[in-house]
Structure 1
Amino acid sequence: MIKEERIHKIEAYILEHKSVSLDELMEVFQVSKNTIRRDVQELVEKGSVKKVYGGVTVKDEKRASLESFHERQVRNQAEKKLIGKTAASFVNDGDIIFIDSGTTTIEMIEYIKDKQVTVLTNNLDFIFRALPYENLTVISPGGILERKTNSFGSIKYLDMLNAYNINKAFMASTGVSLTNGVTNASPIESELKTSIVNRSSKVFLLVDHDKFDKYGLMTYCNLDEIDVLITDQLPNETYQDYFNSTRHKLVIAK
């Protein structure tokens, strides 16, 4: 096994098991302790893992709390507009799409407002801003009002969504990681988000660079359920390697 392949597999093993000893890595990969130490050091310098006494563990991720819509809206505004514009370029006339709650997904409206599109959404701000555009057919599942996210978190009316063939879903997240997947800080919304991902033909995730290696209260889908991830900066090599080795697409907004 060549060095690059071995290091990649060691990284994957550590990410899967969260924390492992150097002796365990020596046994699994059949190499000397000096070789394991050098390989682990490369991963430490890369930023995906950290050393602990006698072994190595996944680098700590930051837990994201549920902030108000305004608090999130004013952060990374320019980047969010750019991501929204790029995401909108994937929307075609005649599409049936889902627009998730969020301060990044809301930016899409400026770039789809002249298209003939059916939009399912729980995003109150999107509904209000879509009012002048009769070419946008807007459908909302309703549900419980989540004031911090300016959205409906639907529990009772999930079955309603099964009547619609959603071909593209544009999702938001409070944090994304390889270990915890795509996460959300609101329990009220999470069931709806999971249902949308399962129902949609193609799933897009819109996240700015601050969302990587963070996680929210609940995982609503795994990263491998996302077809296209759109962000504003190239993430670290761990994520680049993941997307390069899978069918999933990473798009940097321009």
Structure 2
Amino acid sequence: MIKTKRINQIKEYVFEHESVSLEELVDYFGVSKNTIRRDVQALVDAGILNKVYGGVTVNHSVLIGFSERRDQNLSKKQEIGRLAAQFVEDGDIIFVDSGTTTLELLPYIQNKQVTVISNNFDFIHQSTAHPSLTIFSTGGMLERKTNSFVGFQSVDFLKKFNINKAFLASTGVTVTNGVTNSSPLETDVKSTVVEKSSEVYLMIDDSKFDKYGITTFCSLSDIDYLITNSVPNENYKQYAAENGITIVTP
């Protein structure tokens, strides 16, 4: 493979997964670790990627746009939204996280009598067409790369609420690193929501397993329901059984 072509493919691969290990790149591209290191360094020097321990992550300043991410794995996200919505009941006070997967909850809960607290700008905006939903925005600074509200104002706001069910998104999940995110600005919001919620529902498609972002916002054991589009491997099934996590799949 021509070097320039491979470097571009590495960039596209990391942008799709947001954070990957060097070993994963070696396996995927079938080249030596030294070659991967050199190619990755070229992308780091160009400001496209950031080095993290054992791998690389997308430079937050060039994080792939929200609209582009929404189009990725859309059918999977819609299925996850449908599965998650079955847990939403009239009278619930729920939190809807930032992200493109959680946005897919809306079509399935739009006629329910629910109070929604959210930092997801697109969810808030699209909810205005559905009067049965009572909407609270966390406020704070709008993080344009993720279309989410972040900052201490959001955290302080959330501390005042008692949330029945939180529906969260993630850049990636591993047993060792827990539930992770690629935007450090969102981490405090997500961590606060986990602390304040009676039940935590993690909505991730199958591309997020064994991937990790730059920050961890909770342990995988903090999750009550793991909602995904296909059954995860035995490692996750065993962990879920040992930690009381319900895995929900089609």
**Structure 1: segments with no counterpart, 5+ residues:** 1-59
Equivalent runs, 1:1-254 vs 2, <5 Å:
65=58, 66-252=63-249, 254=250
Q: Which moved more, 1:158-167 or 1:176-185?
A: 158-167
Per the normalisation by structure 1, the TM-score is: 0.73
Q: Which amino acid aligns with 1:247?
A: G
Residue 40 (structure 2) aligns with: none
Q: Which residue of structure 2 aligns with residue 11 of structure 1? A: none
Q: Deviations over 1:176-223 (max 9, x none)?
A: 001110001111111010000000000000000000000001000000
Secondary structure in structure 2 of the residue aligned to 1:224: helix
Q: Classify 1:208/1:157 alpha carbon distance in 2 versus 1 (closer, same or farther; 3 Å).
A: closer
What SS does structure 2 have at the residue aligned with 1:87? helix
CA distance in 1, matches of 2:77, 2:138: 25
**8 Å CA contact retained: 2:159, 2:192:** no
Q: Give the letter aligned to residue 245 of structure 2.
A: H
Structural RMSD (CA): 1.5
- 1:54-112 Cα shifts (integer Å, max 9, x gaps): xxxxxx98755343212211111101000001101100000000000011100000000
Q: Give the TM-score taking structure 2 as reference length.
A: 0.74
Alpha-carbon distance between aligned partners in 1 of 2:55 and 2:79, rounded to the nearest angstrom: 25
Residue 159 of structure 1: CA displacement?
Answer: 2.1
Task: Provide closer, same or farther for how the CA distance between residues 243 and 157 of structure 1 changes in structure 2, counting only shifts above 3 A.
Answer: closer
Return structure 1 stretches of 4+ with deviation > 2 angstroms: 60-67
Q: Which letter does structure 2 place at the counterpart of 1:236?
A: N
What is the letter of the counterpart of residue 202 of structure 1?
E
